[in-house]
């Protein structure tokens, strides 16, 4: 019978009780020595690239801060025109979502084409998709917070923001 690695010990004990060795029954695994290897779940949870999405979000944060620095003079101009910090934040987040969605779609297309070309089953891509979604969510949240901070700072010191113009 096929047994998931999580329930292997429980099944082995129940089989020993139901079919005791004193009655002439014996038990052995079809893959001898398979217990020496770690389970797929242990390998998945112990992989070294598990937290690489945090590094990706940190790199994105650096790029987004540079982008906000470049756009600071325009945000100052928007503040002088009369836009509120909320409106400037919404404008910045719309710019972010346009960039993030375009980049995510392009990355998804490239990975999908590569996977189709290599005949990779879709279940193998599930880990990457989960990490990618986690990265995009973290990047959007970080960028939204920094955008709100930059917008509130720009509207409180519009003269400083306009100096760059």
* Whole-Å CA distances, 153 to 32, 69, 71, 86, 109: 66, 12, 13, 12, 38
- What pLDDT score was predicted for residue 9? 76
- What pLDDT score was predicted for residue 2? 66
**CA 16 from chain center: how many Å?**
44
Could you read off the pLDDT of 3-37 as tens digits, one per residue? 666 677 788 788 888 888 787 777 766 666 666 77
- What pLDDT score was predicted for residue 160? 61
Q: What is the DSSP string of 78-135?
A: HHHHT--HHHHHHHHHHHHHHHHHHHHHHHHHHHHHHHHHTT--GGGGHHHHHHHHHH
Q: Please give the DSSP secondary-structure letter assigned to residue 33.
A: T
Mean pLDDT of all residues in 80-109: 86
Give the C-alpha separation, 163 to 165, whole Å. Answer: 5
- What pLDDT score was predicted for residue 53? 82
Per-residue pLDDT band at 106 (split at 50, 70, 90): very high
């Amino acid at each position: 019978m096929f047994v998931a690695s999580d329930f292997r010990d429980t099944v082995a004990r129940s089989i020993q009780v139901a079919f005791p060795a004193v009655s002439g029954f014996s038990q052995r695994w079809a893959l001898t020595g398979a217990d020496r290897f770690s389970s797929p779940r242990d390998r998945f949870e112990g992989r070294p690239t598990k937290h690489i999405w945090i590094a990706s979000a940190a790199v994105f944060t650096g790029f987004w801060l540079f982008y906000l620095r470049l756009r600071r003079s325009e945000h100052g101009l928007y503040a002088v025109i009369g836009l509120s910090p909320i409106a400037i934040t919404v404008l910045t987040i719309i710019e972010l979502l346009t960039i993030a969605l375009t980049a995510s779609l392009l990355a998804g297309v490239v990975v999908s084409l590569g996977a189709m070309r290599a005949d990779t089953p879709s279940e193998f891509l599930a880990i990457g998709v989960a990490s990618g979604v986690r990265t995009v969510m973290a990047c959007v949240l970080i960028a939204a917070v920094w955008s709100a901070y930059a917008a509130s700072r720009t509207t409180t010191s519009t003269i400083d923001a306009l100096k760059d113009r």
